[in-house]
Copies of this chain bind each other. A is one copy, B any other.
Amino acid sequence: MFIEQFRYHPIPAEAESLRSQVREFVAENLQHLSLRKRADSWMGFDAEFSRKLGERGWIGMALPTEYGGADASAFARYVIIEELLAAGAPVSAHWFSDRQSGLQILRHGTEQQRQFYLPAICRGECFFSIGMSEPNSGSDLASIKSKAVKNEGGWLLNGQKVWTTNAHRSHYMIALVRSGESDNRHGGMSQFIVDLRLPGITVRPIKDLTGSEHFNEVFLDNVQLPPESLLGQEGEGWSQVTGELAMERSGPERFLSCMILMYTMLAEIGSKPNVLQQREVGRISARLMTLRQMSLAVTHLLDQGENPSVAASCVKDLGAVFEQELPEIAQLLCDAEPTASGGTDYALVLAHLTQQAPSFSLRGGTREILRGIIARGLGLR
């Protein structure tokens, strides 16, 4: 059973040796970033920062050297991203290309696609968005309606995507759309690499509840895609996407979103905690230590080429609950009231992350979807 997979897998020394370099890099490059901005975590966008990371060779590390990568283990990337996330570095620009689009192109793309996209991804110059959700298909991804029809120029794309993170500032979007008929609910779908500058594409940012713009509506109106924009096999979109989803479920971004709150809260509490503060801080720390080890165990399996999808769902759901509880616990431990403007770092960070928290159980699979996967993994039928 998947629970057996949660063994101890320390980070190999080679990967571990990257850590001090990242810490130095972060100390140099982020010193002026406010705690409130750092609290944006992996929603913080800074193209220049991403380019600098690319220069250091810290994007797309797992890709083969021939495409600009470093052929590094999954643990090497893990060390890089956990240090960046822990520092509240603005990693959003390259996040999706680093985490999944690069690997997806390596795995399913043509040689030409690999050579075209992967080196630019590794340089931190080519940003991707993921086009999955549609207005009437939230958790029910199989009900998408956007459609690509083969024509002489390649494919004619029509439809609409929504909640597409960074579409207003990315170069490409890998979209899952219908490309044919099928009796199977999961058939007849394909993935396309869509150049977001193409005519017929309108990207409209959606403000979130704090007024920030991270995600978008993407309108696709007779977009002419060249034949080479098809990624992987025609009609295999669903299985390609399923493999992709597993990659995004167990990473440290699933439990480190509230780290800046943790730091500001510890500063607010100080070095003489009362018993209530001791207990809650201790419990949070124990859970975080354990979640990190669980995430590393899944990383080990991914590194071995396995597909630990149930274990990954477990990490993701526990991580989301943890991240959502942190602001709830914080407001119980300190008397300071959260503020949207004008308050202390702690108050600003608390207000910001309290408001962001609902999204933690949306992105990357809702609670209901994840728990369904785990129940099936247990053999409930």
Segment from A29-37, A218-226, A274-282 that makes contact with B = A274-282
Name the residue on B nearest A273 (C-beta). B275
- Nearest CB in chain B: distance from A284 CB, A: 15
Q: Inside 8 A of A278's CB, which chain B residues have their CB?
A: 276
Task: Kindly state the separation between the CA atoms of A245 and B275 in the bound complex, as whole angstroms.
Answer: 44
Task: Kindly state the separation between the CA atoms of A274 and B277 in the bound complex, as whole angstroms.
Answer: 11
Task: Kindly state the separation between the CA atoms of A332 and B282 in the bound complex, as whole angstroms.
Answer: 13
Q: Which of A274, A275, A277, A278 has the most CB of B within 10 A?
A: A275
- Nearest CB in chain B: distance from A59 CB, A: 45
Q: Inside 8 A of A332's CB, which chain B residues have their CB?
A: 279
- Nearest CB in chain B: distance from A273 CB, A: 9
Q: Inside 8 A of A275's CB, which chain B residues have their CB?
A: 274-277
Name the residue on B nearest A277 (C-beta). B275
Residue interface mask A259-294, B partner, CB < 8 A = 1: 000000000000000111111000000000000000
Task: Kindly state the separation between the CA atoms of A61 and B276 in the bound complex, as whole angstroms.
Answer: 46
Task: Kindly state the separation between the CA atoms of A276 and B278 in the bound complex, as whole angstroms.
Answer: 9
Residue interface mask A217-256, B partner, CB < 8 A = 1: 0000000000000000000000000000000000000000
- Nearest CB in chain B: distance from A236 CB, A: 39
- Nearest CB in chain B: distance from A208 CB, A: 27
- Nearest CB in chain B: distance from A341 CB, A: 30
Q: Inside 8 A of A279's CB, which chain B residues have their CB?
A: 276, 332
Question: What are the 7 A-B residue pairs with the smallest beta carbon separation, nearest first?
Answer: A274-B275, A275-B276, A276-B276, A275-B275, A276-B279, A274-B274, A275-B277
A and B contact pairs by CB, cutoff 8 A, 10 listed: A274-B274, A274-B275, A274-B276, A275-B275, A275-B276, A275-B277, A276-B276, A276-B278, A276-B279, A279-B332
Q: A274-B275, A275-B276, A276-B279 are in contact. List 7 more A-B contacts (CB 8 A).
A: A274-B274, A274-B276, A275-B275, A275-B277, A276-B276, A276-B278, A279-B332
